[in-house]
Amino acid sequence: MKEILAVILAAGKGTRMKSDRAKVLHEVFYRPMLHHVLDAVTAAGIQDMAVIVGHQREEVISSLSAYQVTPVLQEEQLGTGHAVLCGEKHCDRAELVMILCGDTPLIRPETLRAMIDAHLQSEATVTLMTTRLDDPFGYGRIITDTDGSILEIVEQKDATPEQRCITEINAGIYLADREFLFQALKQVGTDNSQGEVYLTDIIGIARHQGKKVHTFLHPVAIDVLGVNSRVELAQAHQELQMRRNRELMLSGVTMYGPETISIAPGIDVGRDTVIHPGVQVTGRAEIGSGCIIHSGVMIHDAVLDDRAVIGAHAVLQNCRIEKSEHIPPLTLRVS
């Protein structure tokens, strides 16, 4: 398999978040959204990663301490194409470059692996991930010819009324031959409504040069959409929460009202445990087998041995509940 390096764009401020904090540092399901992207890339088998930083770069770089990544500074935010160009020298050892945005915490490793396989099988120069939306407002539209082959990507602000009716949109994930990618980006101008270097322009350049462009249409739109507002942040959190709860239920845990239950990643829950609505479990917690946790319980850094029963609205922190012990409702146990 060809050597792949991932470039993750994390330099922007994210003005629609209405926040003084860098967008990629906002937490989704207990972790910065950038971390979810890095985990997906790693799980897809890509070990080399460059993270493009800019706004609040010290804080973003500090958040990366647990990852083997190379931070790359984009001094001025002059567009996505410019951001990728900043990472050129760090891509020398790669044959292929995968480009992702740091605000797509719902991307799955299996989706990235499928995209890589499609790129290699098609022998394309560039593969672009797309999806379809009933309401594509704000996203770049995929312009195709009569045969359905992609011609270019037109951004929302540059699109004609007819083009804005197109429902196939750019998901913002690319896989490209390294030599072509940087040669093309150096040809991209700033003649657009934003005055920026658009990464999307490499598609038109590839077609003009007779290069093969492959579109990888992902059918589940939510997996690839970015988080640009507090509303979308909440939606992403809920999606990750439900993915986690589905895994737990399939492993033998009963949940009543799983959409209201939040079990942080990495927490073990034993088989035949029953969890009622409104329960939250965080930190270094552990729940044994056959436990019953009633509604509204909050557990943080606590261990429940097998068959423990926790009454409604109890709060447990930094403690251990012994095997078959019953905790009355409204109990506060902190040690």
| Alpha-carbon distances, residue 139 vs 172, 179, 193, 282 (angstroms) | 9, 27, 14, 35
User: pLDDT for 194-253, tens place per residue?
Assistant: 778 889 999 999 999 999 999 999 999 999 989 999 999 999 999 999 999 999 999 999
CATH architecture, range 252-334: 3 Solenoid (2.160)
According to DSSP, the β-strands at 150-154 and 141-144 are: antiparallel
Q: Which residues of the chain have pLDDT under 70?
A: none
- Give CATH superfamily name and number for 4-224: Spore Coat Polysaccharide Biosynthesis Protein SpsA; Chain A (3.90.550.10)
Non-local CB neighbours of 1 within 8 Å, separated by 6+ positions: 120
Q: How many C-beta atoms surround the C-beta of residue 67 within 10 A?
A: 14
Tell me, rounded to whole angstroms, the distance of Cα 28 from its chain centroid. 9
Give the pLDDT confidence score for residue 157 in this predicted structure.
87
Q: State how far the Cα of 196 lies from the Cα of 206, in Å rounded to an integer.
A: 19
- Encoding tokens for residue 175? 């896989």
Give me the residue spans of the domains in the chain. Answer: 4-224, 252-334
| Alpha-carbon distances, residue 277 vs 129, 176, 240, 251, 296 (angstroms) | 37, 46, 17, 19, 7
At 320, which helix (H) or strand (E)? strand 320-321
Give backbone dihedrals phi and psi of 93, rounded to 5 degrees, phi first.
Answer: -85, -5
Q: State how far the Cα of 18 lies from the Cα of 167, in Å rounded to an integer.
A: 28
3-state helix, strand, coil in the chain (%, to 5): 30, 25, 45
Alpha helices in 164-289 (DSSP H): 178-185, 201-208, 230-250
16 classed as catalytic:
yes
Single out the residue of 27, 47, 28, 30 nearest to residue 38, CA to CA.
47
Q: How many C-beta atoms surround the C-beta of residue 248 within 10 A?
A: 20
Q: 126 has which bridge partners?
A: 176, 213
One-letter identity of residue 98:
M
For helices 109-122 and 33-43, give the axis angle rounded to 10 degrees: 50
Q: State how far the Cα of 226 lies from the Cα of 209, in Å rounded to an integer.
A: 30
Angle at 87 between CA 84 and CA 88, to 5 degrees: 95
Are the folds of 4-224 and 252-334 the same? no
> Is 214 within 8 Å of 122 (Cβ atoms)?
yes
According to DSSP, the β-strands at 126-132 and 96-101 are: unpaired
Q: 262 has which bridge partners?
A: 280
